[in-house]
RNA sequence: CAAAGAGAU
């Protein structure tokens, strides 16, 4: 049963929902447990097959908080905020994961008020939920509010820092993004692929050609992150920018 | 063995 469940998850993760379903069907009713059902449900949700997900959910012999959160995710991901709220309200229990999933749904729709309300009512918060709330502000174009929250959150991790770097890289205050990036390195956190891209973007927009190159060239040795396609694209932007400047001079 | 948070063009 264990290995069957793992197969379902593996297929689902790679987008092979139909393969996952075949495995699920091959198990037969007797061998399926709650985890098999949830893994299959997750497969449909991940691949945006909300109707199939609903069908799975309704057919499940037993549902738990994980299956409910999965359905919530399915609705929110496909832009059905009202449905997501209905699922959320119908859940028999909540935990920090389901609350955070609901926060994310609000973030996607820019419902700052509802998100704040939920966030302050949550009986429990962790780094993930704090970061989801940062993202609510970020996506609503409220960097200052994100910064205030960031300043008081207990244990920001690399994703929390990255939200901040990215937010400032995109709102016309690249200098703040660069500063934040430098601070996260000083804090001893390991920059991620995304945070490195964001700081490069910030430099590009500030016209800091040298510094952008610097981040690009040292990312592997200093941070253990091999440059990816997106980092090269950013360099292309940077070079285009330099080219334009040169043309303007001529 | 299953569920929640970050990415410019």
Query: What confidence tens digit (pLDDT) does each residue in A151-187 have?
Result: 999 999 999 999 999 999 999 999 999 999 999 999 9
Query: Residue A217's pLDDT is what?
Result: 98
pLDDT over 90 for what percent of chain A?
96
Query: What confidence tens digit (pLDDT) does each residue in A25-58 have?
Result: 999 999 999 999 999 999 999 999 999 999 999 9
ipTM metric: 0.97
Rounded, the Å distance between the CA of A249 and C1' of B4 is 51
Which positions of chain B lie under 7 Å from any protein Cβ?
1-9
Gap between the Cα atoms of A60 and A47, Å rounded: 19
Closest nucleotide (C1' vs CA) to A77 is B4
Query: Residue A170's pLDDT is what?
Result: 97
pLDDT band at A243 (very low <50, low <70, confident <90, very high): confident
Query: Residue A1's pLDDT is what?
Result: 93
Query: What confidence tens digit (pLDDT) does each residue in A67-115 have?
Result: 999 999 999 999 999 999 999 999 999 999 999 999 999 999 999 999 9
pLDDT band at A249 (very low <50, low <70, confident <90, very high): low
Rounded, the Å distance between the CA of A88 and C1' of B1 is 26
Question: What's the angle, vertex CA A207, arms to CA A240 and CA A141, rounded to 5?
Answer: 105
Query: What confidence tens digit (pLDDT) does each residue in A78-91 have?
Result: 999 999 999 999 99
State the CB neighbour count (10 A cutoff) for residue A218: 12
Gap between the Cα atoms of A100 and A78, Å rounded: 17
Query: Residue A242's pLDDT is what?
Result: 85
Rounded, the Å distance between the CA of A30 and C1' of B6 is 41
- Mean of all residue pLDDT scores within chain A: 96
Per-residue pLDDT, averaged over A229-237, amounts to: 98
Per-residue pLDDT, averaged over A6-16, amounts to: 96
User: Are A203 and A172 a contacting pair, CB within 8 Å?
Assistant: no
Query: What confidence tens digit (pLDDT) does each residue in A132-148 have?
Result: 999 999 999 999 999 99
Query: Sign of dihedral through CA atoms A224, A230, A233, A238?
Result: negative
State pTM to two decimals: 0.94
Nearest residue, CA→C1' of B8? A201
């Amino acid at each position: 049963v264990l290995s069957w469940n793992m197969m379902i998850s593996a297929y689902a993760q790679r987008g092979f929902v139909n393969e996952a379903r075949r495995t699920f069907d091959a198990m037969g009713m007797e061998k399926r447990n709650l985890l098999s059902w949830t893994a299959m449900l997750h497969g449909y949700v991940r691949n945006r097959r909300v109707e199939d997900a609903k069908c799975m959910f309704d057919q499940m012999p037993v549902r738990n908080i994980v299956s409910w959160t999965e359905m919530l995710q399915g609705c929110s991901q496909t832009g059905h905020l009202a449905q997501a709220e209905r699922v959320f309200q119908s859940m028999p229990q909540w935990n920090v994961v389901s609350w955070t999933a609901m926060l994310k749904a609000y973030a996607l729709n820019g419902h700052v008020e509802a998100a704040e309300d939920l966030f302050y009512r949550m009986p429990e918060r962790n780094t993930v939920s704090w970061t989801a709330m940062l993202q609510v502000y970020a996506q609503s174009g409220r960097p200052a509010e994100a910064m205030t929250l960031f300043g008081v959150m207990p244990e920001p991790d690399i994703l929390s820092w990255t939200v901040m770097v990215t937010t400032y890289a995109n709102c016309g205050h690249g200098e703040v993004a660069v500063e934040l990036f430098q601070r996260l390195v000083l804090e001893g956190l390991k920059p991620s692929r995304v945070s490195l891209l964001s700081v490069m973007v910030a430099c590009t927009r500030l016209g800091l050609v040298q510094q952008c190159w610097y981040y690009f060239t040292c990312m592997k040795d200093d941070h253990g992150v091999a440059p990816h396609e997106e980092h090269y694209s950013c360099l292309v932007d940077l070079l285009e920018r330099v080219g334009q400047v040169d043309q303007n001079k001529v």
